[in-house]
Amino acid sequence: MALDLFSPVKLGSIALKNRMVMAPLTRSRAPKGTGVPQDLNVTYYEQRATAGLIVTEATPISAMGHGYILLPGIYTDEQVAGWKKVTDAVHAKGGKIVLQLWHVGRISHPSLLNGALPVAPSAIKPAGQAYTYEGLVDFVEPRALDASELPAIVQEYVHATKCALAAGFDGVEIHAANGYLLDQFLRDGSNKRTDNYGGSLENRTRFLLEVTKAVTDVAGSDKVGLRLSPVNPFNDMQDSDPQALFNYVANALNQFNLAYLHVVEGGMGGGPVNFDFAQLRQQFKGSYMANFGYDKTRGNAAIASGHADAIAFGVPFLANPDLVERYKTDAPLNQADSETFYGGSEKGYTDYPFLSA
């Protein structure tokens, strides 16, 4: 029988009961200041434990990794204890869950960083605005990181990975997508460095590979996934040749034997896409998780054809905790309310109805 969304699969050492992954979704419902997951967050993830795998919301690896309000973190003992309740609840329901490791780089603001300037590969101010506790404010020109500071950021990834493992996660996903720090290093629109970390494809990819090496050394490569978004212009990202860049990155990542490569196959904001994802898929020798606008039909087709090993669904899982059952039975879907995507409480978070409710 052909493989489909409901077929089990192993991504590295993580055994999934189906191939429907809950994509990482920022929900901004952690307490200000501590970033410690609460009972409400436990309920939200527990409700979605029938997914083959949950990738948590992007989670800052350090105080300097923050770029939005009300984010959870993964660098203090209290945060580890809060997340442990999440992983225990998901595991008790037979689910698997990995934590997404996040450093936002220049997509932040001093008001979110205790007055510090955001850091980036180069001092280039992105167009757009930061979500702060004082409302939307223009991004600022970030401080270009000195090469001598990079090992300390690698160590933040290491520390956060240790915290995630201590919190009981089945693994971690390195967020190298959507215009945040690692993506900022990859692309020549945001990386104008003239040292070993800028210029050639090899140099722009160097920091990503150093982070990936350090994280896989700590967690074991079979517990580490990595997310890329080759065509997403979100957060003012530009690159002169995304196909060459991401073919190179996918190929370079083969040395790690990662659990999976997670690829956002479109651009937030829509628009035409001049990129051949089949090339990327071919470059990468491990498991491939596809994301971006998939539904049941397209997901099944991508798995049956061998394009993808698993499919990540964002908004559908946000609005349908029992998305797997709904797809299995062709039941109608709850519609997502974008007004409650970010912030607030249980409304639009844990109150989307189950089929049987």
The residues assigned a catalytic role are 180
The distance of closest approach from Cβ of residue 199 to ligand PHB in the complex, given in angstroms and rounded to an integer, is 26
**Contact between 26 and ligand PHB (CB under 6 A)?**
yes
Q: Report the alpha-carbon distance of residue 143 to residue 155 in Å, rounded.
A: 19
Coil, strand or helix: which one is 317? helix
Q: Report the alpha-carbon distance of residue 183 to residue 232 in Å, rounded.
A: 10
The distance of closest approach from Cβ of residue 355 to ligand PHB in the complex, given in angstroms and rounded to an integer, is 29
Structure tokens at 223: 């517990």
Nearer to ligand PHB, 178 or 205 (CB): 178
Looking at the DSSP bridge assignments, the partners of residue 60 are: 102
Structure tokens at 342: 């970010």
Q: Tell which positions 170-199 bind ligand PHB, by CB under 6 A.
A: 177-178
Q: Site size for ligand PHB, by CB under 6 A?
A: 5
| Distance set, CA 238 to CA 112, 220, 241 (Å) | 25, 32, 9
| Distance set, CA 268 to CA 31, 235, 311 (Å) | 27, 10, 17
Contact between 253 and 174 (Cβ < 8 Å): no
Nearer to ligand PHB, 127 or 357 (CB): 127
The distance of closest approach from Cβ of residue 167 to ligand PHB in the complex, given in angstroms and rounded to an integer, is 20
Contact between 225 and 256 (Cβ < 8 Å): no
Nearer to ligand PHB, 279 or 338 (CB): 338
The distance of closest approach from Cβ of residue 263 to ligand PHB in the complex, given in angstroms and rounded to an integer, is 13
**Contact between 251 and ligand PHB (CB under 6 A)?**
no
**Contact between 161 and ligand PHB (CB under 6 A)?**
no
Structure tokens at 71: 């984010």
Nearer to ligand PHB, 23 or 164 (CB): 23
Q: Tell which positions 57-76 bind ligand PHB, by CB under 6 A.
A: 58, 68
**Contact between 132 and ligand PHB (CB under 6 A)?**
no
Q: Report the alpha-carbon distance of residue 86 to residue 348 in Å, rounded.
A: 19
The distance of closest approach from Cβ of residue 316 to ligand PHB in the complex, given in angstroms and rounded to an integer, is 17
Structure tokens at 294: 């998939």
**Contact between 108 and ligand PHB (CB under 6 A)?**
no
The distance of closest approach from Cβ of residue 55 to ligand PHB in the complex, given in angstroms and rounded to an integer, is 11
CB neighbours of residue 198 within 10 Å: 19
| Range list of β-strands (E), 176-286 | 224-228, 260-264
Q: Pattern of binders to ligand PHB over 31-60, x per CB under 6 A?
A: ---------------------------x--
Which value, to the nearest 10 degrees, does the dihedral of the CA atoms of residues 56, 221, 215, 251 take?
Answer: -100
Nearer to ligand PHB, 58 or 145 (CB): 58
| Residues contributing to the site for ligand PHB (CB under 6 A) | 26, 58, 68, 177-178
